[in-house]
Amino acid sequence: MSSTSLRAATADRLSARIAEEQAQRRLPSVMAGLVRDGHLVWAAGRGRVQDGEPTTDTQYRMGSITKPLVAVAVLRLRDAGRLRLEDRVEDHVPATPVGGATISQLLAHASGLQAETEGPWWERSAGGPWDELARSLPPHAARHRPGRRFHYSNVGYAVLGELLVRAHGAPWDEVVRDEVLRPLEMDRTTTRPQAPAARGYAVHPWADVLLPEPEHDAGAMAPAGQLWSTIDDVARFATLLAGDGGDVLHDDTIAEMCEPVAVTDQPGEPWTAAYGLGVQIWNVDGHRTVGHGGSMPGFLMLLRVDRESGDGAVVATNSTAGLQGQITTDLLALLAREEPRPPRPWAPLEVTSEVLGLTGLWYWGPIPLQLRAERELAFEIAPVAGPGRASRFRAEPDGTFTGLDGYYAGETLRVVRNTDGSVSHLDLASFILTRTPYDPDADVPGGVDPGGWRAAPHRSNEEHP
């Protein structure tokens, strides 16, 4: 991946943070990188792998960061019209105890399916074929009603891996390789380690000694955490999550992946984590980042992307425990503070005469709203002051506009015209927006009192016996 450089002082601060993590957490090695504008702008390693320090080309096991790659392959099937996210699992992978759940629920860990297998700890045991795994699942493998709550399920991603097998007639890893890895030029992402690769270790909790961890093929469970990758390669995937899907995923589909589907709820606390379609979502003081964590015996990997700025952080270690999620947050915060992005330069927009004619003040009843043309969209409607229902809109070929977010996401706005072609009002999901409050000449539901606006109630009209 092509690389640009940060200022030396910034790189030193970032490297110091990685050195602190490696020393304090007692990690055999750690490798980290930061992504900006599709480039790896900084990377640094600490500790030793084999005979030297790790590099951006050193493989570490991705663990559950395999899951977002599987999810992308599934979403490509949806975008190609070969399945729907609301399809039942039974329609594509029959004879599972989670058949009534939907594909969307599997992707978001909301199917209710049990977290782990019935047999030995699959992460430390060689796996078998799908048929063997399917037979091992009990009839009560659904721990919760589908859609009720977030319940992380490694088994669920084994099911999604089998869905890819049946849809493509090829092993799941070949599908992910051909559909996702090769187009993204993630050439060093493989199902088994390829040199240079780190060896996985457990660090003794009470002594500075190491225990090698096993490495194996997880069989049917492999889609939950099999892949190995490098900082270079995962940085390319971070660019996709930032919104640049290239020929792999449309921007709208990436945005859909990154919307919360199932919230990780802690009673009495505001939610700080959720799951989308294959990605984790973190909410810190209203600021959201997306990505995933990966954990397998001997390895931890973290991927976090700020969707607003596009900056991303990747950190990997060859230790079963120790690496803290805070490290990615700290690296992104350091990058933003030391190398702030300049604001996008102002430039005039290409705005159609129709949209330009709609800009300005509108009223929903007595509530003033402003309609403003937006870059890369049609416009945004928002309250003039204070909180309220705000949404952005996209123009459609038939002359209508579709809401993209907020209360009006997916809803249709129609421009209603008078016989002379002038605009009468806007019809937004049955709400009527007028140029003046309760315009009597517009089709306001319930009509407008013929007495009009007044200083005080009229006894004859508004007081009843």
Radius of gyration of the chain, Cα coordinates, nearest whole angstrom:
27
CA gap 98, 25 in Å, rounded: 39
* Whole-number average pLDDT of the chain: 92
Half-sphere exposure of 435 (CA within 13 A, CB side): 13
Please tell me the predicted confidence (pLDDT) of residue 102.
Answer: 96
Torsion angle, alpha carbons of 259, 264, 270, 272, to 10:
-60
Please tell me the predicted confidence (pLDDT) of residue 138.
Answer: 84
CB 279 within 8 A of CB 256: no
pLDDT of 4 above 90: no
What are 427-441's pLDDT values in tens digits?
Answer: 999 999 999 999 998
Min mean pLDDT across 46-50, 78-82, 158-162 is at: 46-50
Min mean pLDDT across 76-80, 194-198, 342-346, 397-401 is at: 342-346
Residues with Cβ < 8 Å from 335, sequence gap 6 or more? 6, 10, 14, 34, 36, 41, 42, 311, 313
Give the residue-averaged pLDDT of 169-173: 97
- 464: pLDDT confidence band, cut at 50, 70 and 90? low
- 461: pLDDT confidence band, cut at 50, 70 and 90? low
Sign of CA dihedral 118, 121, 125, 126: positive
What are 243-266's pLDDT values in tens digits?
Answer: 999 999 999 999 999 999 999 877
Tracing tokens 């009673």 back to the chain, one arrives at 267
pTM for this predicted structure = 0.90
Please tell me the predicted confidence (pLDDT) of residue 3.
Answer: 46
pLDDT of 463 above 60: no
CA gap 138, 416 in Å, rounded: 58
What are 332-344's pLDDT values in tens digits?
Answer: 999 999 999 988 8
CB 210 within 8 A of CB 198: no
CA gap 412, 380 in Å, rounded: 13
Torsion angle, alpha carbons of 45, 51, 57, 62, to 10:
-80
CB 281 within 8 A of CB 288: yes
Please tell me the predicted confidence (pLDDT) of residue 51.
Answer: 81
pLDDT of 383 above 60: yes
Lookup: tokens for 325: 């999620």
pLDDT of 462 above 70: no
What are 37-68's pLDDT values in tens digits?
Answer: 999 999 999 999 988 999 999 999 999 999 99
Give the residue-averaged pLDDT of 11-34: 97
Of all residues in the chain, the percent with pLDDT exceeding 90 is 77
Give the residue-averaged pLDDT of 345-374: 93
What are 206-252's pLDDT values in tens digits?
Answer: 999 999 999 999 999 999 999 999 999 999 999 999 999 999 999 99
Lookup: tokens for 91: 């329609």
- 460: pLDDT confidence band, cut at 50, 70 and 90? low
Please tell me the predicted confidence (pLDDT) of residue 2.
Answer: 43
Backbone angles phi, psi at 131, to 5 degrees: -55, -40
pLDDT of 457 above 50: yes
pLDDT of 315 above 60: yes
pLDDT of 279 above 80: yes
Q: Which domains does the chain have, with CATH numbers?
A: 8-338 (3.40.710.10), 353-434 (no CATH)
Please give the order of strands across the beta sheet that includes 273-275.
39-47, 29-36, 312-317, 299-306, 287-296, 280-284, 273-275, 262-264
